[in-house]
Chain A
């Protein structure tokens, strides 16, 4: 295990050296010893097993023994070369179906954080580098099982099919916290280039074309309010994400992808239970393609309501209803089907989920969950030629370890 892991992590050496170089810039020799005192290393490993009656999610889940192709490994380090400066980076290996090569570690985030001001009234600072996009309640740590209410996040908002765009941006982000009498107000706003992986090409029906999407200058922001003792949390997230499609000739030609999501998030927490809801409007435009059929302008709608109940100290029960509509103007997908685009149920998804989490040790989490799903709106694009089923059931189990 150790040997094979060290091989896989080799490409993170480059990251480590760049970090060391960055540290050298902001770190004075006298402070080096102090900086080492602040060094922290954390990580996690998750392995899941999925089985479904129809439709494959993350590998061949609908075949005989189900799929083990959902693995998440992450490791991060952080230190303070100066009391106001935080250097933090994380590499992530993730396979969710697809090839084993997907486990190749990628830089999940890598930032230099400078806190300009911190007192009893406010906090103000900026992050430079690859920063995690503040998007809804869960996006910034979406791959770390211990921060999720279940094995799968609500797929209507945290969907896998275009996840690369949502993860992180290379650029600059500012943050501001205001400590008010009634609670805390937090603002985070960033500008940078998102990652646009091949998942985007596939999800937009350009997987077979020669070109690929590349992230272009994009904007993201979140305003979050936490009332007094943290019982009530509300957030509004917005983004204007742009990716350019290049080298598509002679097929679709070059074009541009715009993504403008708005997410309203609400949570009420008591000691033993939490009620969470998020609602998103997702504007998606494809522009400037030569092939006129490629240029589209749709608005998708997503929402979920989720109840979590803690009991027996280390157990948590989850109940959630999650709805995705790809096109608000055609919520049932009938117009899409009539126009010959494919089955109506590929344009939406309704997912009723119940699950259980058990922290049998502070570092070990076991989880199981069941989904009853109508529609395949968020099912990642597959290579298979067969049409997906409209009604399907999915069962998952996951073991996670952290350090």
Chain B
């Protein structure tokens, strides 16, 4: 089973599922063959056709594209972790829990605070606000009670770092996935 398929179950309440959309494409094609009746009518028709095409191509295309945008938790392939409880994931990314449930040392990586994927990861998967994570890290770093996660600049770098760092754990949009990392489903 490829890691991409494994990841489909990660969010049970996700409103955006991959759907089949090929069946709806031909619906508007006959309209293109109609003869124009007059200027106003043809303009009206052109608008209708454009609208219908937009709906056909993009409206139904949205679920598929959204899935590409979905943020997934990724792990170094050497990490033997099953589905991760959300609470555990939250404690790990808050840098409080430093080992996996199986006892392996973790190396947490995050995108910059202002990166939109970071906000979507924090709110969507961990159910915390980015400002709460930032405060938790700062409080640890500046009180001598812990360390900050490693920051990577982009999703491409995230993928590379998680794939090559022992214990590596991070997140990217599904569209960036390849077989170099595991997708970790989240359990409630």
Contact = CB atoms under 8 A, between A and B. Distances in A.
B88 A147 contact: no
A286 to B, nearest CB: 30
Interface stretch (A105-113, A198-206, A337-345, A371-379): A105-113
Interface in A181-210: 184
B128 interface: yes
Given A115-B98, A119-B99, A147 B105 contact: no
B132 A147 contact: no
A393 interface: no
Interface in B116-155: 123, 127-129, 131-132, 135, 138-139, 141-148
A141 B96 contact: no
B143 A109 contact: yes
Given A90-B144, A362-B112, A230 B128 contact: yes
A161 interface: no
A24 B148 CA distance: 23
Interface in B57-72: none
B101 interface: yes
A269 B136 CA distance: 14
B87 interface: yes
Contacts of A127: 144-145
A147 B148 CA distance: 14
B135 A147 contact: yes
B19 to A, nearest CB: 30
A332 B87 CA distance: 48
A294 interface: no
B148 A109 contact: no
Nearest to A115: B98
Interface string A324-367: 00000000000000000000000000000000000000100000
A229 to B, nearest CB: 5
A131 interface: yes
Interface string B8-24: 00000000000000000
B141 A362 contact: no
Contact of B96 (A83, A89, A177, A229): A177
A141 B91 contact: no
B92 to A, nearest CB: 10
Nearest to A140: B143
Contact of B147 (A78, A147, A362): A78
A179 B88 CA distance: 9
B125 to A, nearest CB: 12
Interface residues of A, number: 41
A131 B90 CA distance: 26
Contact of B142 (A147, A229, A230, A310): A147
Given A177-B96, A184-B91, A86 B147 contact: yes
A304 to B, nearest CB: 19
Given A177-B96, A184-B91, A120 B101 contact: yes
A111 to B, nearest CB: 5
A132 B143 contact: yes
Interface in B72-95: 85, 87-88, 90-91
Contacts of B144: 76, 78, 88-90, 109-111, 113, 127, 131-132
Nearest to A143: B142
A16 interface: no
A229 B88 contact: no
B128 A141 contact: no
A78 B141 contact: yes
A118 B96 CA distance: 9
Contacts of B131: 310
B132 A141 contact: no
A8 interface: no
Contacts of B145: 88, 113, 127, 132, 140, 175
Question: Which of B114, B131, B146, B148: most chain A Cβ within 10 A?
Answer: B131
A40 B148 CA distance: 8
Interface of A: 38, 40, 42, 44, 74, 76, 78, 80, 83, 86, 88-90, 109-111, 113, 115, 118-120, 123, 127, 131-132, 140-141, 144, 146-147, 175, 177, 179, 184, 229-230, 269, 271, 310, 313, 362
9 contacts: A42-B142, A88-B144, A88-B147, A146-B138, A179-B87, A230-B128, A230-B132, A271-B123, A310-B131
The 5 closest A-B pairs by CB, nearest first: A88-B144, A140-B143, A109-B144, A141-B142, A144-B142
